[in-house]
Each structure stands twice: as C-alpha cells, then as structure tokens.
Amino acid sequence: MATQISLEESRRQKDIIKDLRMMADKEYADSGEKKKYFITTFGCQMNARDSEKLRGILEEIGYEEASEEKEANLVVYNTCTVRENAEQRVYGRLGFLKSYKKHKKDFKIVMCGCMMQQPDILESIRTKYKHVDVIMGTHNLYKFAELLKTNIDTGEIIIDIWDSHGEIVEDLPSIRKHPFKASVNIMFGCNNFCTYCIVPYVRGRERSRTPEDIVNEIKELVADGVIEVMLLGQNVNSYGKNLDNPCSFTELLKSIEEIEGLERIRFMTSHPKDLSDELIEWFGQSKKLCNHLHLPVQAGSSNLLKKMNRHYDQEKYLELVNKIKEVRPDISLTTDLIVGFPGETEEDFEATLDIVKEVEYDNSFTFIYSKRTGTPAAEMENQIDEEVVKERFNRLLETLNEIIAKNNAKKVGQDFEVLVEDKNKNKEGMVSGRTTSNHLVHLKGGEELIGKIVKVHITGSKTFYLIGEMV
C-alpha cells in the first residue's frame, strides 16, 4: 500500500495545486482570459504517461490546452535522451522560444524528462538557454506544481534534479488521451544496463509499486469508463522483486484479471531474459490478456547480444518464441532492432535478418545505433561507417515490410474484435481501432463507435494496417 509519507506528500502537492488555482481564477476574473499550456512529449510510453500527469495538474490549476506553442502561456518539453535526434529537436525548439518569450509577458518554459538527468545536457541548458524557467528530472515529476509556484513567487529559474527516486507519489490529477483506455505505471527504472542504453542512468534502479495500489488504481479507472489498460515499466518481467512482499508479474496480472468491467490488458516492455514460463503459460489461460507480446531482441547475432549485455543468445531467444507460439498460436510478436552497433559485421547483420525471417514479426521498432555519452558502447572500438549502417538499415526495413505485409494479408477474410479509438484522420466516414493483437484497423463508421469493441470482418490489407467492415 502507499506509505504514509507518500500520502502526506500527495496531500501537500494538492494543497499547492489549490493555491495555484486560486491565483489563476483571480487572474481570469481580472483579464477575462484563461492561461493556456502546450506540452510536447518526446520518447517512450513512460514519457507519454508522465505528460498525462502534467496535463492533469495544469488543468486542475486552471490552464486550458493550446493547439500550438505560440498560443500558450506555458510550454512544457518532456524530453527523451535515447536518440540524439530527439535531443536536437529540443534544442531547436528552445532556440525558437527564446525570441518569442521576449515579446510575451509571463511566458513560462518548463523542461523535464530524461535529458535533464544528464549532467552535461543540464549544464548546457543552464548556461545557453537561460530563458527556461523550470528544470526538473524523471524522479520528482509529482513536484511539478510546487516548482512552478516557486518560480512564479520568486521569478528565479528553478532547477530540481534528483539522482534517485524518493517516495512513489501517484495520487495526483491526470488527463488521459482516451476515456476508455489508460496507461498505468507498475514500476520505475531499470537494472539491466544494456551497454547501448542510457535509461538506467536517467530513470534509476528498478522500483515496483505494490499490487494493491496498482489494482486499486485500475478499479478506479474502470469505474471511470476504462475498458483497456496498458501496464508500463522499463522491464515488466522483473516486476515485484524489490517489494517487501514479493509478487511476480504473472501474479499481478492474475489479480488485475479479476477486475470486473475490464476487457483488455496489455503491457510493455518485456525483457527476454526475465520472460518466465509462468507468464508464457498465462498467455494460454487468460481471458483478458491481449494476444500481443513485445519482445525486444535488438540483434540476431549472439556475438552482438553478448556485447550489448542482453543476457541471452539467439538460441535462447528463439526457444522463448517457440514456447509462446505453442501456448498461443495466434500471438502477435513485435520487437526492437538496432542496426550498426559497434563491431557489427556483415555476418552479424545477416543473423539479424535470419531471426526476423524465422520469427516473422508483425511489426518492429527499428533503430540506427545512436552513440549515447556515458554508456559503455559509446567507448567501444569499431564504430560502424554511416553509409554501411544506412545500407543495412534499408535492407532490414525491406525484409520486415515484406513479412509484415504477408502476415496482414493472411488476415483478410477473418473476423476480429476491434476497440474503436478515433475518427480516421484521412477519410471521412471512417474510424480506426485495434485488435487484441494490436493490429490497426480502419472501417466504416461514425463517432458513436468510439470506445466500443465491435466485431469486424477484414476485407483488405496494407503493410501497416487492415481494412474491414462491421459484422
């Protein structure tokens, strides 16, 4: 259960939010205009979930969401440091806002997320981008209202970066993108230290929430209309190991399964080294666990996997794939793949193509290796030539796309249950949703279908989506 300290901190932050709301209401009464905010989220689903919390706090304070930065009184950049291009985009936007801020009174800029946890980046922003008002990291997001109020009260730049987590404080406002589906953090941080990855250094070591707190949060979400949850963690398979009363991830899933009114359960991300037989067996028994498993392989070469510190080889990974396919033959497998890891030979790359062909993934997040300062891989010899990496990357995409298109074509003529999520952005009179296997489906229909699970007959397929009609 939540500790007394975390409950008291939650109450304290809510009191600060109320104080800011009183200030905002007075300003609104005087000016007739509500203040507006704009949030840009870079990176993973953990960041997306964090932005939901920031959005909830700001709207509780009295802000309205703006459609673009120039309309806002407060801009938040929730940053990612996994890829260099995300960092460069942040710097570009900060440069743009510098001249804009000079002409707009009471304009605030807030920086948070993984980039802020890196000392060299923090120092760069502190010295080169002095127009930023609040800088906070990944460990103290719940203090957002307090840090904002301190900035408003003092007019000074507020920098609050922690080296590690304190208490887990989750009981604060949050605004979901969809009323019928939600993401739920079940743990924070990572203990794996893959040699290419900066995440353990910026997100900290693994810490799990108690199963009671997670189940209670989901019950409240279901009471609020949620029928699908996504359980989030850097490595959900190692959930529960640091709890006073250990609880495996599968035991947590079984508890969530019992929640009446919940229709679908998803999770990510899953590390192969911790994928238990218990969890694999649950895929064959559960009525609510979606038939989709994101199982990042990163590379097909056992040689590279050892250099990456992944703690499995190609043989072990394929053994896990075969086990899950035996238990759940209709499982949809997706993955992460890195091209151009230091020392990657043509033979190593061919091994990656081989595993893609053998597993026949339904989709993949595919990346060109990005050197991250502070990681062991950044210091490795034999960094791969850019032209070689691009050529291999294109070959990998061609192989993947051919397999994905073939897998989708097999679904034509079949019926699937689809959770309708949005109006189709490209075609009038169409809506879009996802099967339990996480396949995107476009079908004829109106807004009244959004949030409902409907039976759909698949009539056509493209590489990255299916086309269907309601049965």
For domain 181-409, the CATH architecture is: Alpha-Beta Horseshoe (3.80)
Average pLDDT estimate for 448-453: 97
- Of residues 332 and 164, the one with the higher pLDDT is 332
Angle at Cα 333 formed by Cα 78 and Cα 227, nearest 5°? 60
pLDDT tens, residue by residue, 89-110: 888 889 888 888 888 878 999 9
Any idea where the domains of the chain sit in the sequence?
4-160, 181-409, 415-470
Average pLDDT estimate for 249-259: 98
Are the folds of 4-160 and 181-409 the same? no
pLDDT tens, residue by residue, 205-225: 899 999 999 999 999 999 999
- Give me the CATH topology for the region 415-470: OB fold (Dihydrolipoamide Acetyltransferase, E2P) (2.40.50)
Measured CA to CA, the distance from residue 299 to residue 335 in angstroms comes to 10
pLDDT in the model for residue 9: 85
Computed over every residue of the chain, the mean pLDDT equals: 93
pLDDT in the model for residue 154: 94
Which of the residue ranges 100-104, 274-278, 313-317, 399-403 would you say has the lowest mean pLDDT? Answer: 100-104
Which of the residue ranges 164-168, 211-215, 277-281, 457-461 would you say has the lowest mean pLDDT? Answer: 164-168
Provide the residue type at 397 as one letter: L
pLDDT at 73 over 80: yes
pLDDT band at 165 (very low <50, low <70, confident <90, very high): low
Q: If we measure between CA atoms, which residue out of 231, 205, 204 comes closest to residue 217? A: 231
Q: CATH class for domain 4-160?
A: alpha beta
Who's near 441: CB < 8 A, 6+ residues apart? 416, 418, 432, 433, 434, 435, 456, 458, 465, 466, 467, 468
pLDDT in the model for residue 1: 53
Measured CA to CA, the distance from residue 418 to residue 451 in angstroms comes to 10
In this structure, are residues 20 and 148 in contact, taking their beta carbons and an 8 Å threshold?
Answer: yes
pLDDT at 2 over 60: no
Burial label for 447, CB within 10 Å (0-12, 13-18, 19+), is exposed
pLDDT tens, residue by residue, 12-32: 999 999 999 999 999 999 999
Whole-prediction pTM? 0.85
Q: If we measure between CA atoms, which residue out of 223, 224, 226, 214 comes closest to residue 182? A: 226
Q: Considering the chain, what percentage of its residues have pLDDT values greater than 90?
A: 75
